[in-house]
A and B are shown apart, each in its own frame.
Chain A
Amino acid sequence: MSVLVDENTRVVVQGITGGEGKFHTEQMLDYGTNVVAGAVPGKGGQEVAGVPVYDTVDKAAREEDANAAVVFVPPAFAGDACFEALDAPVDLVVAITEGIPTQDMSKVYRKLQETDTHLVGPNCPGVITPGVAKLGILPGNIFSEGNVGFVSRSGTLTYQVVDSLTERGIGQTTAIGIGGDPIIGTDFIDALELFEQDPDTHAVVMCGEIGGEDEEEAAQYIAGNMDTPVVGFIAGRTAPPGKRMGHAGAIVSGSGTGTAQSKIDALEDAGTPVGDTPEEVADHVEDIL
């Protein structure tokens, strides 16, 4: 079993004719992902890697029965591309693009609240259900099928920790890279909720980092709502204070939370073991399973 992505996921790739779009469409197809269409304004009628291209997501979704979109559109146009996917509509949008202006994402986020669509990202590596499909840029070969859900704010850290799990023979139901931007669609709590409802997910690994309060809020959610055990990892223990924490965040929250220690404490208080190293995360998961 899996969350968000399964064998019925039919993908339209927005920006399929660009360098990254084309390369990763080929990678996704190689992995077995059902990429059914591309969407690029003005490029309708072309083909990329055997996939038909349409001018609009709307048409791609109607003609090819697509129900998911992956956004490889440059930052200046990516907010608009997210709106287009939400309006199509599709059930899942995975926005890979890095560097989308925050105010654009704020408007996308506002729109998202009116829909039933899941948005993952932006600035994320994507979603993978090992052995079934991947939507995004994750290197498929390090993942393996299994019963551990995985959610992370950081792309390369995902690879590192998943690699440690796979090396020990611990496979994953689905791995979700939620992205590290200030405003994202699916957050830790959304992902944890999906995994809690999935009977085949027997444990969840959650990788966070300094900044914001998402991990502290996730810890509260875990304590109050989850039967599935969670193992945590927090990056940035040695990061100097003040370098990444914005002035604005501190004012809004009214306090200086968001340090690695406050996140580790919150998770441990919720009964979630936190590994000091990626290997220790795998140790904890081994103990649980």
Chain B
Amino acid sequence: MKLHEYQAKRVFAEAGIPTPDAKLAETVDAAVDAAEAIGYPVAIKAQVQVGGRGKAGGIKLVDDKAEAREAADEILGMDLKGYHVDRVLVEEAVDFTNELYVGVTMDRGEGKPVAMVSTRGGVNIEEVAAEDPDAIAREHIDPAFGMHPYQARKAVYDAGVDREVANDVAGVLSTLYDLWEARDGSDAEINPLMVTADDEVIAADAVMNIDGDALFRQPELAEMQEDAAEDDLEAKANDYGFDYVRLDGNVGIIGNGAGLVMTTLDLVDHYGGQPANFLDIGGGAKAERVTNALDMVFSDENVDAVVFNIFGGITRGDEVAQGINEALEAFDEIPKRVVVRLAGTNAEEGMEILNTDLVTVEKTLEDAVQRAVEYAEEDSA
């Protein structure tokens, strides 16, 4: 789960990390009032969860009331890389001499947290990491002890941060780590952490992503969650609790388990078709989930045929088959042809009860995929 910039800044500020004076606004008038109250120059920033907001016209620096009105009017309501902008953060523009990067994340390879500091802030840190990995100082943290103060100092000195601000930056990094740990962060980042002419440090941007599996113990953050889906189908997938990714092709794919669903996509491609989506109904799926999955794939206009691939372990083939029957019997006319392949737990029982007037049954994964690709070609012609 991603927090918006304004939410992350609020969390950071409460913990004692300096942030610019700022107000959230949902209307042009409110944005102008906020700008007047804060004092110019201010930045007006679209609150959408997408990178590269500045380049896409979602961040504007303004010097007076007229400019503030114009900028707020332009940004509020704009479509930014597929996201509708309905709020802006109006923020004091910080006069800086230097831009740093600080971040904390989980290093999955090492199985432990890593704190990062770089003097190359203010730019795309992923590019820095790719082109010049040594420009980012990294310090691994023992999760049993947390970050020792010396480790924060070490990362800051290793990165080559100016001596005058080193202590303050180390303080920010320590606070960021503690927050990351206490709030079940997956990533926490400040980019840039601005250094002013007076050697103060201020978090000019804020990223805080929370481990979705830990939201049960972060009720305060869970409440901040807002629908960030790019399109209606992905929003629907969120409602149904599916792992879903929309793709460009015309063969709809439903299956259980990420590895097997990905393999089904790969096979569709292998046999000359184009996958329309990745849809994992997960383990132990029962009839209602099957109905919801078919609803998802049928409501995608690009889909010409569907392959339903289940290999049961925890999932039981007869329950899936029952779900497919119930879902399809509800239609007067089934909108797309469906190919089903069931294997594993209770697959034989499932095959027996599947209504073959409604679906095509294939015994192997290869046959099922090839049949669905054929159907998709016929139906798109």
Tell me the minimal C-beta distance from B222 to chain A in angstroms: 13
Tell me the minimal C-beta distance from B52 to chain A in angstroms: 13
Of A40-48, A62-70, A168-176, A245-253, which binds chain B?
A: A245-253
Are A157 and B344 in contact (CB-based, < 8 A)? no
A106 contacts across to B, CB distance below 8 A: 106, 111-113, 143
Are B214 and A110 in contact (CB-based, < 8 A)? no
Are B256 and A156 in contact (CB-based, < 8 A)? yes
Are B258 and A209 in contact (CB-based, < 8 A)? yes
Are B143 and A156 in contact (CB-based, < 8 A)? no
A238 contacts across to B, CB distance below 8 A: 247, 262, 265-266, 268-269, 275
> Would A103 and B270 be within 8 Å (CB), given that A157-B260, A279-B366 are in contact?
no
A182 contacts across to B, CB distance below 8 A: 106, 108
> Would A154 and B258 be within 8 Å (CB), given that A142-B344, A240-B247, A277-B366 are in contact?
yes
- Give the number of residue pairs across the A-B interface with Cβ within 8 Å: 175
Residue interface bits B209-220, CB-to-A below 8 A is 1, else 0: 101011011000
Chain B, Cβ-Cβ closest to A183: B111
Tell me the minimal C-beta distance from A111 to chain B in angstroms: 8
Which residues of chain B (78-133) have a CB below 8 Å from chain A?
Answer: 103, 105-109, 111-114, 116, 125-126, 129-130, 133
Which residues of chain B (250-309) have a CB below 8 Å from chain A?
Answer: 255-260, 262-263, 265-270, 275, 278, 283
Chain A, Cβ-Cβ closest to B145: A110
Chain A, Cβ-Cβ closest to B263: A235
A163 to B312, CA, bound (A): 12
For residue B28, CB closer than 8 A to chain A, the reply is no
For residue A50, CB closer than 8 A to chain B, the reply is no
Tell me the minimal C-beta distance from A120 to chain B in angstroms: 15
> Would A247 and B259 be within 8 Å (CB), given that A110-B111, A163-B311 are in contact?
no
Are A159 and B311 in contact (CB-based, < 8 A)? yes
Are B365 and A278 in contact (CB-based, < 8 A)? yes
A254 to B105, CA, bound (A): 13
For residue A155, CB closer than 8 A to chain B, the reply is yes
Are A137 and B270 in contact (CB-based, < 8 A)? no
Of B55-63, B180-188, B330-338, which binds chain A?
A: B180-188
B278 contacts across to A, CB distance below 8 A: 239
A125 contacts across to B, CB distance below 8 A: 313
A99 contacts across to B, CB distance below 8 A: 213
User: Which residue of A76, A155, A237, A253 contacts B259 across the interface (Cβ within 8 Å)?
Assistant: A155
Chain A, Cβ-Cβ closest to B185: A103
Q: Could you name 10 residue pairs across A and B whose Cβ atoms are closer than 8 Å?
A: A20-B314, A101-B214, A110-B112, A155-B313, A157-B257, A163-B343, A235-B263, A251-B116, A252-B108, A278-B365
Binding site for B on A (CB under 8 A): 20, 75-76, 98-107, 109-111, 125, 137-139, 142, 152-160, 163, 180, 182-183, 207, 209-210, 212-214, 235-240, 243, 246-256, 276-279
Known contacts A106-B112, A160-B343; 13 further A-B pairs (Cβ under 8 A): A103-B181, A125-B313, A160-B263, A160-B365, A163-B344, A182-B106, A183-B108, A209-B259, A238-B262, A243-B245, A249-B108, A250-B129, A276-B266
Binding site for A on B (CB under 8 A): 103, 105-109, 111-114, 116, 125-126, 129-130, 133, 136, 138, 142-144, 181, 184, 186-187, 209, 211, 213-214, 216-217, 245, 247, 255-260, 262-263, 265-270, 275, 278, 283, 311-314, 343-345, 365-366
In the A-B complex, list the 5 residue pairs whose CB atoms are closest, starting with the nearest. Answer: A154-B259, A156-B257, A157-B259, A254-B133, A248-B105
